[in-house]
Structure 1
Amino acid sequence: MSKESFHQLVAGLTTEIAGRPLDTELDTWLNAHHGAGTASFDSLKQACIEGVAEGWLCEREGGGIRYGRVFKAEDALHRFSVDVVDMRDIAGPHHSHPNGEIDLIMPLEGDATFDGRPAGWCVYPPGSAHFPTVGAGRALVLYLLPEGQIQFTR
């Protein structure tokens, strides 16, 4: 999986969600159409696993978390940035989402959850905040951030 192929894969998804409110309706829709067990989920998960193995995903490490911004917000991605983290039984730094956040939870070991959610999608509305937490194993989490906006708490 090349970085360019990954970009195309994510762009196909962002085409479907562009302009939609980040809310529970989008959460439900994503899990119904692109959730665990679907071809699109499997493709994204495999692409992330390959990207980590090839070294162009999660190329940084800090505080026990591997992470990295793969793509900045751009028109081809409908103004979403793309980040991927690799976490095992850990809480990350507290942050807020001025424009919301869309997360794809991809367990790798155990029955890993992200903020208590199993494999699939989790949508946070604008203005929400959390300590991103992976429990019960290891997971990759793909983050889509409108306009790349995230604010870490000091």
Structure 2
Amino acid sequence: MSTQDFQRLIVSVTAQLTGRPIDASLAAWLDATWPSGSDTYRKLANACRTGVAEGWLCNREHDGIRYGRIIKPTPDTHGFSVDVVDMQDIAGPHHMHPNGEIDLIMPLNDGATFDGHPAGWCVYGPGSAHRPTVANGQALVLYLLPQGAIEFTQDASSA
């Protein structure tokens, strides 16, 4: 899988997201349209695992989290950036989503969760914030960020 193949796969997803509100109804639609057992989910998960193994995904590391922005927001990606993280039993830095965040959760072992969610999709609406947490093992998480917007914050619990 090349980065161009990966981008084509992502564009097939982001094309379906254009104009949809980034909210709980989108999460339900994503889980119904591309559930964890679906062909699209498997292709995305395999592409991410391959990218990590080949070194072009998650090619940076900080405080035990491997990460990387593989695609910047462009008209081709319908304004979404794409980041992938590799986390194991760890909480990441607190951040806010000015325009929302769409996450594809790909556990690498049985029982691993992202913010309490198993394999599948999780959506955070505009203005939401969290400290992303993988528990009970290791997972890859693909983040789609409208216009690439993310703001790292000082979490009140870490002040």
Task: Report the residue type matching 2:151 in the other structure.
Answer: Q
1:134 aligns with 2:134: yes
Partners of 1:53 and 1:130 in 2: CA distance: 28
User: Any idea what SS the aligned residue of 1:111 has?
Assistant: coil
Partner Cα distance (1:18, 1:64) in 2: 34
1:88 aligns with 88
Corresponding residue for 1:51?
51
Amino acid in the other structure paired with 2:24:
T
Aligned to 2:102: 102
Q: How far off is 1:19 after superposition?
A: 1.3
- Give the equivalent residue in structure 1 for 2:71: 71
Structure 2 counterpart of 1:117, one-letter code: H
Q: What letter matches 2:89 in structure 1?
A: D
Superposed displacement of residue 110, structure 1: 3.1
- Deviation at residue 35 of structure 1 after TM alignment: 1.6
Please show how residues 13-52 of structure 1 align to structure 2 within 5 Å: 13-52=13-52
Q: Larger strand proportion, structure 1 or 2?
A: 1
**TM-score between both structures, scaled by the size of structure 1:** 0.99
Number of corresponding residues: 154
Distance 1:36 1:30 in 2: 10
- Unaligned runs of 5+ residues in structure 2 are 155-159
Q: Give the deviation of 1:153 after TM superposition.
A: 0.7
Query: What is the identity, as a one-letter code, of the residue corresponding to 2:35?
Result: G
Q: Secondary structure at 1:109's aligned position in 2?
A: coil
Unpaired segments of 5 or more residues in structure 1? none
Specify the code of the residue in structure 2 equivalent to 1:3. Answer: T
Hey, what's the Cα distance between the residues in 2 that align with 1:74 and 1:129?
24
Question: Who is 1:114 aligned against?
Answer: 114
Identity %: 62
TM-score, normalising length from structure 2? 0.96
Whether 1:147 aligns to 2:127 is: no
Kindly provide the amino acid, as one letter, of the partner of residue 116 in structure 1: G
Q: Partners of 1:52 and 1:18 in 2: how far apart?
A: 27
What stretches of structure 1 move > 4 A for 4+ residues in a row? none
Question: Once superposed, what is the RMSD of the aligned Cα atoms?
Answer: 0.6
